[in-house]
């Protein structure tokens, strides 16, 4: 085939990913739940069909392949990076008894930063019994004063039912307050609520708009989510070139975060990066 030179540097695994991409396109099956079943369908016959498609339209075919390859790469590193972030948070919240008492006094006096930090301490159980209900109480005090971290944390609590009954509308409200202050994590979470229709009518265009706000500021999870919408044509025109570009940015940023956090935990680097790669 004329396309053999084009495919010289593509592995068998990548060929199957590319086959999956074309199968998704041809069958119009775009949901992630279909991936395991479709992987099993990536036999030699499908691979040959994919090679022909790429031969006819190399640029689009390679972008389909790259989307799938980068998507898997991002997902493989996302969970270990979340574990890193949790360890770094615990490390930063490992206070002495005197420091904890001082934090308590500041929180009781109404300092919103101290209140949010005390909420983190209860949420993770650092030096105190783990207590989501107590964490929410402190987050609420700080959030009402406009503390953006507390607003995000309170939105998360309502989103996932941690310390309060799960409530999509409350999650939406608190995420929106933080998002409007420019918090990229909240902007990403807000996009997710619009995408899933939790607490608000499902609206892919709104989801894409909020993902883009965060993605443009470098939030790698939002970049991943925006890429996913482009690859599926949800809320934005289907565009594999845009999808591949955003997936590429997401993976590059996530690797930078992962490396910086690994160095921070090992003591070989500086301070850890602030952004957390939450589940996409």
Please write the tens of the pLDDT for every residue from 219-272: 999 999 999 999 889 999 988 889 989 999 999 999 898 888 888 887 765 444
**1 pLDDT above the threshold of 60:** no
Question: pLDDT digits over 116-156, tens only?
Answer: 999 999 999 998 999 999 999 999 999 999 999 999 999 99
pLDDT at 200: 92
Q: What is the pTM of this model?
A: 0.74
186 close to 178: Cβ distance less than 8 angstroms: yes
- Residue 211: partners with Cβ closer than 8 Å, 6 or more residues away: 187, 188, 191, 222, 225, 226, 229
The structural domains of the chain, ordered by start, are 93-178 (1.25.40.10)
pLDDT given for residue 43 in this prediction: 45
């Amino acid at each position: 085939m004329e396309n053999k030179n084009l495919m010289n540097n593509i592995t068998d695994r990548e060929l199957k990913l590319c086959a999956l991409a074309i199968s998704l396109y041809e069958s119009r099956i775009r949901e992630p739940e279909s991936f395991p079943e479709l992987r099993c369908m990536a036999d030699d016959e499908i691979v040959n069909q994919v090679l022909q498609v790429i031969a006819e339209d190399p640029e689009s075919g390679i972008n389909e392949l790259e989307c799938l390859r980068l998507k898997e790469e991002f997902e493989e590193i996302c969970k270990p990076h979340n574990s890193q972030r949790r360890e770094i948070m615990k490390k930063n919240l490992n206070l002495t008894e005197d420091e904890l008492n001082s934090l308590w006094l500041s929180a009781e006096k109404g300092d919103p930063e101290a209140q949010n930090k005390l909420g983190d301490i209860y949420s993770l159980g650092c030096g105190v019994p783990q207590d989501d209900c107590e964490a929410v109480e402190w987050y609420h005090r700080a959030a009402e004063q406009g503390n953006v971290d507390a607003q995000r944390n309170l939105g998360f609590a309502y989103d996932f039912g941690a310390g309060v009954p799960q409530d999509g509308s409350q999650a939406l409200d608190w995420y929106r307050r933080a998002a409007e202050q420019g918090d990229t994590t909240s902007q990403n979470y807000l996009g997710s609520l619009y995408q899933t229709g939790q607490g608000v009518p499902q609206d892919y265009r709104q989801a894409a708009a909020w993902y883009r706000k965060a993605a443009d500021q470098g939030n790698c999870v939002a970049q991943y989510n925006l890429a996913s919408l482009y690859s599926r044509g949800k809320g934005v025109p289907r565009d594999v070139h845009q999808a591949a570009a955003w997936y590429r940015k997401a993976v590059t940023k996530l690797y930078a975060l992962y490396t910086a956090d690994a160095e921070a935990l090992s003591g070989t680097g500086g301070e850890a990066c602030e952004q957390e790669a939450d589940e996409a």
